[in-house]
Amino acid sequence: MTSQFNSQQLRRLAIFQDRINGTNPNDHAPEPVTAYAIDGENLYMIYRASRWSRVPEVGSMNPGDILAERTTVKFDEATGAFPDVQYELAITTDGPHSEEPERIQTDGQALIRSWFNAEPERFEQLGIGEQPGNTRLEIEDGARLPPYGWTEAYERTLERMMRERPEEIRLSMLQREINSEPGATAWFLESNGYDLHKIVWENDNQGRFMGYHLEHAQFEEPNSMSDEADPDRRVELPSIEQIAHSDYVPVDPVSLSDAEILERSRQVVEGYQTQRVRDGGPAAAGMRHDIAQSGIATTDRPAVLQTTGENSHPVFDFDSPVAMQDAMVETMEQDIAQQQETLATIGQDAPQLAPDAPARPVVWPRVNFPNRFVTPFQRTARDGREYEMMTVAIPRGVTVNGVELGGWRFDRFMHGQERTAIANHRPVTVTFRPGEPVNLWRGSGVNRETLAIDEPWDLCRAVKAERDAYQQAREQTRQQQADEQREDAQIESQETPDDAFYHAMEVSAARELALYIENSDELAADLAAARSIADPQEAAQQMGKLADRASLAFAHDPDFCGIEASTPDETPFDSQTRQQAGEFLLDLGTRTMAIDENAARLEKQSRSLDDYEEGSATIEYDAAVQEVRDLAESRKQDIDASFHGQLDQLTDRYATLLAQRTNDFNTRSAAIPSPMITGPANYPAAKMQQKTDALMRHYKEQSERLDTLRERIETIGADGKSISSAQPDALQQLQEKLSELQARQETMKQENQQARDRHEDAPHSSSELRNNNASMRRVQARIEGIQRNHDAGRSEQSGTTMQGEPFDLVHDGESGYVYFRFEDKPSGETRDMLKHNGFHWSIRESRWQRKMTGSAEFAVQRILEQAKPLEATQPAAPDNDLDQAHERQHRQRRHGAR
């Protein structure tokens, strides 16, 4: 495009216009500019002080003082760039002056004459800014600059080039990403043009290579295309997102040629690609990650990427001011040409009214979500058609209008672009209809909540702001870890992780999940079915599948203080932990959680010279658990008996988590010795401080979960909203709840049909109907389970334990409990066996009891297998015989039968 204006003049005037309008917040005058004067390479700005303030250049200014500032822009004759922008400030001392703009201009021109020895009357342009911030400078031939200056020209140029030359912009940004690294960098660009892999090598003082780290970066499309007709809009620019970053890998110091560096680096990338495809699951199967370009980049030899196609050419560096100036001038000239007909002619007595501006294009809000927060699924319509959908989870920390949206979700149709991004592990761009609220949801069933965001732009900005903050924090953490790893690599060749600590954590998590499954009514039937399988291998496989399902439900169960999931498929347990939980469920001792005395002893030795008192950690733990058990027993006196079983479960849960927190703390703290014990010489203070911070953060999280459990123990059964299966009127309450859900389902269907008849949007989404239907099925299943217990009636069996202790086993379908009664206090082995199988001692009922579920039946059979043959099976006498019941309880309490 042939320029119709002087390029240097256009650039200089664009900079001047930014200065006059204060467009750049880091480059504006102390007060709004009242008048200006331009003389070649100099800009003079005139303004009147409205308040007292300190000005570094001249000391201070008082209200009414006149200030004149000179800005000089000079160009480099060789490159054509403007490397030097100079500022000078002048101020009067004979104020205050008039507030009239014409008087301010006159006084300012006098200041220019006296201070800068210049004659404003001879300048090229003089003007008064009638509306501060909206000045439009004259170029020539009646043309004026567009309503923006040099600062915004860069953003508009980059946006224009994204539309006209997207490949060059993408490769330019990836090229800059490669060349930003110091030293030797082996780089590999995939054939899709988006994924870049870098192996950054580091040298020692002798120039030998001593280690490397891998980085996987991806080009990220702009979140939204800007509205060119709106001068106040903010441009969303493309960016580079860090997808993965390995730890620093030390190697034996060695000298390598470029070919050897490239070959070693290629092997590292290929290993990473293999792992990437494997971890991606079915969505990544069949995806290719071919390398299109590769090479070695150094400070002296920067990488130069090539465009694809028949007319390929080297990519320019768009971040260079020299390389971008011509394109920026071209952008401004295009806008000037489009607006020239609407601008008033320079020198005309009365400005003409500009014609109506063309209708501005509608901009659709768009934002990129990280790949792991998007889950695809299929939805089947009533007519049998299947639609590809995706559920998008909002990351933690996203706040709109003061509301934290972390964990909320919304559903969207999935198209080819989203499908490809998900399969390639790239961020997924989600588009919203302008002005249409975004309907969010979280939870399921009766716990489902909904929330509407009226303005989708607010959600887009909040997601982007949180993502930028997260990436910045992650980069800082990564850099800190890399520095520490390099420091450790120089001290010792290899650092062995504390295998015992990680093993203890995995065992604790597995027992935590097993305990949840053991106490879940909804999983009782599946648990009993898995335990009844004779083939051990098949039983383990089914139990593992059950653990996989339960791990997702665990994250949303308030009674078990689940970890709030950020995505629909997030779980706090990995596959190995879930498998180990299934193995625990097939063996006795699921609930066993002992205090690790060895870890407690090592923790004491790491911070104190005093001897460890053997058993003190267990004694302290037992006292804390007993305090909670006493609290639970006192609560049983105030609430309905139907909640006693839940209290016992919560108490066991508290004991398990407290033991886990104790063992975790002791194991972690033992790895952080005090400098008073080890001595201050060569003590890695920074590394130990980082471990201490992680220890306290983990301890705080576990303490919060314990506090939540204790609060649950203190409040359960007091709100009157919970329906326990053991309540006398549980069937009636559940029938009423089912009727309410059925009525609500019919009402929502009728309202949707009426809306369709009026050709309006349905007020109730299909997901709302589906969730309400799921709640109906769940309540119906509970009704059927309670009814089965009632139909089973009441039966009693008598037997003797292997220790020779007689007992009565009672199945009471009316109350929903199965329990053991002993004449005397059972032995420790018997009590441990009962505890391992989920039975709890009830002081009020004087019996070892558990709710009647499929899992409970399996536990009973497991206990009876260890007992002597049962003497008889007979219908149990009802407990309404007060004399017999009183005598039995009196006898048991006298002997302490627990």
Using a pLDDT cut of 90, give the percent of the chain over it.
4
Using CA atoms, how far residue 355 sits from 261, 342, 343, 352, 809, in Å, is: 64, 6, 9, 9, 93
What does the pLDDT average to over 549-572? 51
Q: How confident is the model over 14-26, as a mean pLDDT? A: 76
Q: Which residue has the higher pLDDT, 393 or 553?
A: 393
Over residues 842-863, the pLDDT tens digits come to 767 788 888 777 667 778 888 8
**Secondary structure (3-state) at 490:** helix
Tell me what pLDDT residue 518 has: 66
State the residue for tokens 């000179």: 70
pLDDT the model gives residue 25: 55
What average pLDDT does the segment 345-366 reach? 49
The number of residues in the chain equals 898
Three-state SS annotation for 649-676:
HHHHHHHHHHHHHHHHHHHHHHCCCCHH
Enter the tokens of residue 183: 């030293």
Question: Does the structure show a pLDDT above 80 at 3?
Answer: no
C-alpha dihedral sign at 75, 76, 80, 84: negative
Helix and strand numbers, DSSP H then E, in the chain: 22, 28
* Band of residue 641 on the pLDDT scale cut at 50, 70, 90: low
38-52, 224-238, 397-411, 612-626: least confidently modelled range: 224-238
For 381, the token pair is: 């319509």
Please give the DSSP secondary-structure letter assigned to residue 146.
-
User: Residue 232: what pLDDT?
Assistant: 44
Burial of 523 (0-12, 13-18, 19+ CB in 10 A): buried
Give the pLDDT confidence score for residue 707 in this predicted structure: 86
CA distance 544 to 521: 18
Across the range 701-730, mean pLDDT stands at 73
Structure confidence by residue, pLDDT tens digits, 234-250: 456 677 888 888 888 88
Q: Is the pLDDT of residue 513 over 60?
A: yes
| Top-ranked range on mean pLDDT: pick from 523-537, 823-837, 851-865 | 823-837
CA-based radius of gyration for the chain: 37
How far, in whole angstroms, is CA 724 from its chain's centroid?
A: 36
Note the pLDDT of residue 410: 92
3-class secondary structure, 641:
helix
Q: Are 600 and 666 in contact (CB under 8 A)?
A: yes
Output the pLDDT for position 295.
92
**Which range in 184-198, 281-295, 418-432, 574-588 is most confidently predicted, on average pLDDT?**
184-198
- pLDDT at 747 (0 to 100): 92
289 vs 810, residue with greater confidence: 810
DSSP state of 825: P
For 94-104, letters b (16+ CB in 10 Å) and e give ebebeeeeeeb
Distance of CA 266 to the CA centre of its chain: 32
Question: In the chain, what are the helix, strand and coil shares in percent, each to the nearest 5?
Answer: 45, 20, 35
**Cα distance between residue 327 and residue 333, in whole Å:** 10
**Highest mean pLDDT pick, 59-73, 188-202, 354-368:** 188-202
Give yes or no for a contact between 565 and 556, defined as CB atoms under 8 angstroms apart: yes
Name the strand (E) or helix (H) holding 69: strand 66-74
**Largest CA-CA distance found in the chain, in angstroms, rounded:** 121
Average pLDDT score over residue span 87-115? 81
Residue 740 has pLDDT above 80, yes or no: yes
Q: Looking at 65-74, 136-145, 338-347, which range is the least confident one?
A: 338-347
For the ranges 209-213, 314-318, 873-877, the maximum mean pLDDT occurs at: 209-213
pLDDT at 432 > cutoff 50: yes
| C-alpha–C-alpha distance, residues 658 and 650, integer Å | 12
CA separation for the pair 843, 898 (Å, rounded): 9
Which H/E stretch holds residue 296? strand 291-297
pLDDT band at 642 (very low <50, low <70, confident <90, very high): low
The two tokens of residue 707 are 């506090």
pLDDT of res. 355: 44
Contact 128, 102 (CB under 8 A): yes
Q: How far is CA 239 from CA 52, 159, 242, 696, in A?
A: 42, 12, 10, 36
Q: Lowest-pLDDT range, 106-110, 295-299, 470-474, 503-507?
A: 503-507
Angle at alpha carbon of residue 502, lines to 500 and 505, rounded to 5°: 110
The number of CA neighbours under 13 Å toward the Cβ of 322 is 9
Q: Assess whether pLDDT exceeds 90 at residue 220.
A: no
For the record, the structure tokens of 450 come out as 């909904």
Q: What is the DSSP letter of 280?
A: H
Which of 152-156, 359-363, 537-541 reaches the highest mean pLDDT? 152-156
What's the pLDDT score for residue 520? 64
Q: Which two tokens stand for residue 105?
A: 């201009």
Lowest mean pLDDT among 224-238, 329-343, 602-616, 668-682: 224-238
Separation between Cα atoms, residue 248 and residue 201, nearest integer Å = 10
Name the pLDDT band for 590 (thresholds 50, 70, 90).
very low
| Cα distance between residue 199 and residue 296, in whole Å | 10
Ramachandran bin of 790, using left for φ above 0, alpha for ψ from -120 to 50, beta for the remaining angles: alpha
Give the pair of three-digit tokens for residue 30. Answer: 């102390």
Which of 272-286, 338-352, 532-546 has the weakest average pLDDT? 338-352
Own/partner long-range contacts of 656-660 (Cβ < 8 Å, ≥24 apart): 656/511, 656/512, 656/515, 656/591, 656/593, 657/512, 657/561, 657/702, 657/705, 657/706, 657/709, 658/621, 658/624, 658/625, 658/706, 659/593, 659/594, 659/595, 659/621, 660/508, 660/511, 660/512, 660/593, 660/702
CA distance 33 to 132: 7
68 forms bridges with which residues in the sheet? 46, 90
Confidence (pLDDT) at 758: 86
